Amino acid sequence: MSTKDDVKEFLTSRRAKVTPEQAGLPTFGDKRRVAGLRREEVALLAGVSADYYTRLERGNLAGVSEQVLEALARALRLDDAERAHLFDLARASTGPVRGSRRTAVSKVRPGVLRILDSLTTPAYVRNARTDILAANALAFALYDGILDRDRLPLNVARFLFLDHRAPEFFLDWESVADDSVAALRAEAGRNPHDKSLTDLVGELATRSDEFRTRWARHNVKHHRTASKRLHNSLVGDLELTGEAMELAGDELVIITYTAEPDSPASEALHFLANWATTQHATAPIRDQRGS
């Protein structure tokens, strides 16, 4: 889809999610053919003319002022991620600017790798395209054969939608899939000229009905923290908390998993840590060197 189409679908979908009651507008018992607000109601709430808002919803965000964008965000009751996405779409509507054709980072600095290895919780580094680029020993143990040192990067979105093991590993697969697509949609708004990201979205939309349905919703989300229920063949089910720590200068994110102290999940992670240490100690020297 073009940026113009993305703007149209995003604004239309957000408008459909806001009821007149939520917006504080009277309805007088009128029957509506579609859910949510009408265009003229959004225009009223944003302080613009109905004709002007209609032009915006047709995808014409080029040159729109920040004040109007803020007014739209308030009228449509956008959250932080949706507001940021609206501004990203407005920037993209002006056309590519110098330096905007970025590609997702594919290398991890040695210092970041040392930080990763120093963590006592499962942790990995991923880029904005959801490629896992590096992981510590406990993350390899937790991801139970899914992560392989010799087969990185692993794209999380591709694993979720194209690998039959995903629903068995992520016990709340539906919500994890929703979050993954929402994160990719937000990144596509920030970096619409990343061909590798465009190719990934095209591949998943072609091969997965589940992905295509979610992509069409135009939901966006910032990945910060989430509860995750995972299944590991050695220790069974674990309930963990995932935390995202941005490495802004590297355009990378460290994802860590933690468990409540003295919980079954905490004991399971302790077991996995001992198991991973034993596996590393008994591995042939050539494997430890990665050769």
140 with 51, same domain?
A: no
- Are residues 13 and 131 both part of a single domain? no
The partner residues of 132 in beta bridges, in order of sequence, read 126, 154
Do 129 and 167 have their domain in common?
yes
147 shares a domain with 57: no
* CA atoms within 13 A of residue 92's CA, in its CB half-sphere: 24
**Is there a domain that residue 160 lies in?**
yes
pLDDT of residue 26: 79
What CATH number is associated with residue 70? 1.10.260.40
- In total, how many domains does the chain have? 2
Query: What pLDDT does 222 receive?
Result: 86
pLDDT in tens, 23-32: 888 776 667 7
Would residue 239 count as lying in a domain? yes
Tell me what pLDDT residue 284 has.
45
Residue 27: predicted pLDDT: 72
Do 73 and 119 have their domain in common? no
List the domain range (segments joined by +) for residue 74: 3-93
Q: Say if 71 falls within a structural domain.
A: yes
Q: How far apart are CA 15 and CA 41, in angstroms?
A: 10
Please report whether residue 212 resides in a domain.
Answer: yes
Which pLDDT score is estimated for 282? 52
Which of 58, 93, 128 is the endpoint of a domain?
93
Q: Helix 3-17 to helix 80-93 angle, to the nearest 10 degrees?
A: 150
Taking only Cα atoms into account, the Rg of the chain, rounded to an integer number of angstroms, comes to 22
Q: Which of 67, 93, 119 is the last residue of a domain?
A: 93
CATH number at residue 149: 3.30.450.180
Q: What is the pLDDT of residue 161?
A: 98
Residue 100 in any domain: the answer is: no
Q: Is residue 12 part of a domain?
A: yes
Please give the structure tokens belonging to residue 252: 């990378």
- Alpha-carbon gap, residue 119 to 151, rounded angstroms: 22
Residues 40 and 128 in one domain: no
Residue 227 shares a structural domain with residue 261? yes
pLDDT in tens, 30-62: 677 777 999 999 999 999 999 999 999 999 999
Identify the segments of the chain with pLDDT beneath 70: 1, 28-30, 96-102, 280-291
pTM above 0.85, yes or no: yes
Q: How far is CA 206 from CA 76, 161, 165, 198, in A?
A: 31, 11, 20, 12
In angstroms, the CA 133 to CA 106 distance is: 7
Answer yes or no: is 105 within a domain: no
| Residue 170, CA atoms < 13 Å, CB-side half-sphere | 23
Same domain, 137 and 237: yes
User: Cα–Cα distance between 14 and 257 in angstroms, integer?
Assistant: 32
Residues shown for the chain: 291
State whether 133 and 198 are in the same domain.
yes
Look at residues 93, 123, 146 and tell me which one is the last residue of a structural domain.
Answer: 93
CB distance 157 to 181 below 8 Å: yes
Q: Looking at residue 170, what DSSP letter applies? A: B
Examine residue 101 and state whether it is found in any structural domain, yes or no.
Answer: no
Distance between start and end Cα atoms, the chain = 43
Q: Give yes or no: residues 81 and 122 share one domain.
A: no
